[in-house]
Amino acid sequence: MIFRRRRANSALQEPSLTETSESIPNPIADQLRLAFDALPIGVVITDRSGGRPVHNRAGAAMTGIRHIDILVRDAVDELLTAEPKLGFTGKTIEIAGPPTRHFAINVQPLEVGGAMAIVEDVTQRVLTDTVRTDFVANLSHELKTPVGGIAALGDIIVGESDPIVVKRLAESIVTEAYRLSAIVDDLLDLSRIESGAAMNWEPVNMAEVINEVVASSKHYAQRHQVQLEIEGNPTVYVYGDSSQLVSALLNLVENAIKYSEANLSVQIRSVVIGEDVRVSVIDQGIGIAAKDHERIFERFYRVDRARSRMTGGTGLGLSIVRHVVTNHGGRIELESEEGLGAAFTVILPRIEGRPSELVK
């Protein structure tokens, strides 16, 4: 084994290039050594005898976590002690967490003998690929449902002569078409919000935003027999895009209405605490289990798919909320227990002064 296990506190004491290359005292060699140590990926080089390796600083400590260091070093040892004459070899290892980490290790034989191993933490890349794969799979499923419904209803209506049945089928086609349109609209909104493009930055009165949200959702609340209540709502300004903020809070309020039973209320509470304005949307609905608190903001993630299909929605609303809040330098908090309602709180940095003084 090239990397020998050592006593505790010595796992990261292999020599770096700057520590082992004491000869060649010239500026070019010094610059090469500094550049080698500055590389963000780990590099380990061993000579033809398989003796003590030389590595840069990133190669000395890939993670800073003891047990992961050992596992990565063992994997590097395995590849370096294999037959380097066989040519380029490599593999990706997964180390259980939390969080789970992924490392890509590639070994290349050197013409002068020995071999060079490159170790890269690819955890974020793997996570991005997984999210992309899940997104495509979920999007395909979400689009297939209304499209399939429209096709099936269309086939039935072609051979139907009863005008009452035809009317009912046509209404169902319209409903599915609107659902499909809503998915596309939300995808376009999410793409625009994620990129941060075309944001109309200006001082925004949060009291006016809340009033607009309540006015927009009033009819929806009446249909569900849910009462909307505003608490606080001081005049306070944030710097951002008014339409995006309305969209985010409207998503939260409509979700709260959707998952509330009739004759219950949804509260929109606004308070100023220090340098922040906190807007909470509080319902007495079905609540969200603790295990779903993190994933609830993912695209298309649904706590209960059967219930969500019945109540409608695209599964993109909370993802839009999170991106809007992030774009405005804020954060969102969730307090909820299954069966005991939910409270989503949007926290945004406030600004002081009169509107005329705040416009840049």
**What is the pLDDT tens value at each position of the chain, 360 positions in all?**
333 333 333 333 444 444 444 454 567 777 777 887 777 778 877 776 666 677 777 776 665 556 666 677 777 777 776 655 556 677 777 877 667 788 888 887 777 777 778 888 888 888 777 767 766 776 676 778 788 888 888 888 888 888 899 999 999 899 888 888 877 777 777 777 766 655 678 999 999 999 999 999 999 899 899 999 999 888 999 999 998 899 899 989 988 998 888 889 999 999 999 999 999 999 988 888 777 777 777 766 665 544 444 445 556 778 888 889 998 999 999 998 777 889 999 999 998 765 555 544
| Distance between CA atoms of residues 284 and 219, nearest Å | 19
Specify the pLDDT at position 12.
38
| Distance between CA atoms of residues 331 and 278, nearest Å | 10
| Distance between CA atoms of residues 76 and 321, nearest Å | 43
- The 3-state DSSP class for residue 244 equals helix
> In degrees, to the nearest 5, what angle opens at C-alpha 37 toward C-alphas 35 and 38?
60
Q: Is 303 exposed, middle or buried, given 0-12, 13-18 or 19+ CB atoms closer than 10 A?
A: middle
Specify the pLDDT at position 133.
72
Output the six-digit token pair for 323.
Answer: 């991106």
Specify the pLDDT at position 4.
37
Specify the pLDDT at position 252.
93
Task: Give me the residue spans of the domains in the chain.
Answer: 17-121, 124-198, 200-360
Give the H or E element holding residue 133.
Answer: helix 123-158
| Distance between CA atoms of residues 14 and 117, nearest Å | 15
Tokens 């289990």 sit on residue: 289
CB contact at 8 A, 348 and 235:
no
| Distance between CA atoms of residues 22 and 300, nearest Å | 57
CB contact at 8 A, 154 and 146:
no
Bridge-based pairing of strands 237-240 and 265-273 is unpaired
- Which CATH class for the 124-198 domain? mainly alpha
Of 88, 62, 87, nearest to 3 by C-alpha is 62
> Which amino acid, one-letter code, is at 350?
R
Give 184-211 pLDDT, tens digit per residue: 777 777 777 766 655 678 999 999 999 9
For domain 17-121, give its CATH number from 1.10.530.10, 3.40.47.10, 3.40.50.620, 3.30.450.20.
Answer: 3.30.450.20
Topology of domain 200-360, per CATH?
A: Heat Shock Protein 90 (3.30.565)
CB contact at 8 A, 3 and 74:
yes
Of 217, 190, 210, 192, nearest to 320 by C-alpha is 190
- The 3-state DSSP class for residue 104 equals strand
| Distance between CA atoms of residues 241 and 118, nearest Å | 45
Extended beta strands in the chain, E state: 42-46, 54-55, 89-95, 101-109, 115-121, 202-205, 227-232, 237-240, 265-273, 276-283, 331-336, 342-351
Count helices and strands (H / E) in the chain: 11, 12
